[in-house]
Structure 1
Amino acid sequence: MLNYQVLNYSFQNLKEKNMTFEQVFEHILKFMRLDPNGNYKLMIGTDSQVHPDHTTFITGIVIQNVGKGVWACLRKITIPRKVTNLHEKISYETSLSEDVFSMFTQERKDDMFEIVLPHVDRGASFTIEGHIDIGAGERNKTRRFINEMVARIESMGAEPKIKPDAFVASSYANRYTK
């Protein structure tokens, strides 16, 4: 695993720049409070892109009210070299997702659960997913890392998703790595 000190805990989206995690969390709670009867998925995933002199890693945080909208933001990390070893790259992507998952303490998860809990009997729900930018396809070079990365996401208390279901990593975060 890369041993870089990550000092930039700044998040952004199209409307806001330089958000702290506390501000991100408040946005998530505000979004969930708009419709406590919703079916919510908190999804976190990371993708990367190797450039000529650096590698960009984007971690996306998405809160989705299924069928009714999303609120999302991202965190950008730049490593000042080309990360070409596939295992190192996938492992670091997973580490960055784990880093963000760790910010969702049990107390914060409880705060989210408490919004939907009174409405569960009317169909409200809340789940947490970790989106990993790997695929199981026979021609996919990342498939040999599936068991390792899935176990790491499960250890964070999240339901792991791989391609094609890992859209936060493979689509949302990917868009901002270019």
Structure 2
Amino acid sequence: MTSDRLRAWYNIGDKSRKKGETMYLVSPTKGRMTFEQMMEDVMAYITGLPSSSYKIIIGSDSQVIRGQTCFITAVIVHRLGKGARYYYRRKMHRKVKSLRQKIFFETALSLELGGQVAKRFAELGHEDLKVEIHIDAGTHGETKELIREVVGMVTGSGFKAKIKPEAYGASCVADRHTK
């Protein structure tokens, strides 16, 4: 399935935002910020210690709250061996009952934001900063049957995929803000 068909199927592309409307994320330390402000903050963090190695991680998780599904997509900038900084975006959606649909929707949201982050890095001349997508699925439990499909979806989009237990961007960081 192509990215456009996935967006249409899962109703993403953020129709809750009108064309040209600003996307907002939250930094736990700096509060609400636009996508551009987040990218400026990320670049300041990276250029603050350019000799370090960095991982850029995008992961999503969700939980049903009062009849709606709350999806959180996190952007994590991991300064290897020296800490990290993260930002997250909340999106409310009608209640998603199927685990399969929920995992695919989480992955599609991660791919959407990951694509925007990767594109912005390329525009800033930092193609070397590769985005990694963390998927909230693992080899134990009900999600194990979905791994091949969602990993294929991610790698087919040009990103490196990680599943549980290595998918801490989804299972720890994003999960923390779904409650």
TM range (shorter): 0.7 to 0.9
Match of 1:123 in 2: none
Question: Is 1:73 the equivalent of 2:87?
Answer: yes
Contact 1:29 1:112 in 2 (8 A): no
Residue pair 2:118, 2:130 contacting (<8 A) in 1 also:
no
Partner AA of 2:150 in structure 1: M
CA distance in 2, matches of 1:76, 1:32: 25
Question: TM-score by structure 1 length?
Answer: 0.84
| Contact residue 101 and residue 156 of structure 1 kept, 8 A | no
Change in CA separation of 1:169 and 1:105 when aligned onto 2, cut-off 3 Å: closer
Shift of 1:175: 0.6
Aligned mate of 2:56, from 33, 38, 42 = 42
Pairwise CA RMSD: 1.9
Q: Shift of residue 135 of structure 1?
A: 0.3
Instruction: Work out whether 1:86 is the aligned partner of 2:99.
Output: yes
Q: Any idea what SS the aligned residue of 1:67 has?
A: coil
Matched residue, 1:25? 39
* SS class of match (1:113): coil
Unaligned runs of 5+ in 1: 118-125
Q: Deviations over 1:94-131 (max 9, x none)?
A: 111011012124452363637xx7xxxxxxxx442100
Which runs of structure 1 show a deviation greater than 4 angstroms over 4 or more consecutive aligned residues?
none
User: Structure 2 length normalisation: TM-score?
Assistant: 0.84
Aligned length, in residue pairs: 165
Q: Runs of 5+ in structure 2 lacking a partner?
A: 1-8
Could you tell me how far apart the structure 2 residues matched to 1:3 and 1:143 are? 25
2:138·2:164 contact (CA, 8 Å) conserved in 1?
yes
Q: Distance in 2 between matches of 1:110 and 1:156?
A: 18
The code of the aligned residue for 2:44 comes to K
2-side partners of 1:69 and 1:58: how far apart? 21
Aligned pair 1:131/2:145, yes or no? no
Asked whether the equivalents of residues 45 and 130 of structure 1 are also in contact (C-alpha less than 8 Å), the reply is yes
- Indicate if the aligned counterparts of 2:56 and 2:130 stay in contact, CA closer than 8 A: yes
Aligned mates of 1:45, 1:157 — CA distance in 2: 15
- Cα separation, partners in 2 of 1:9 and 1:106, compared to 1, 3 Å: closer
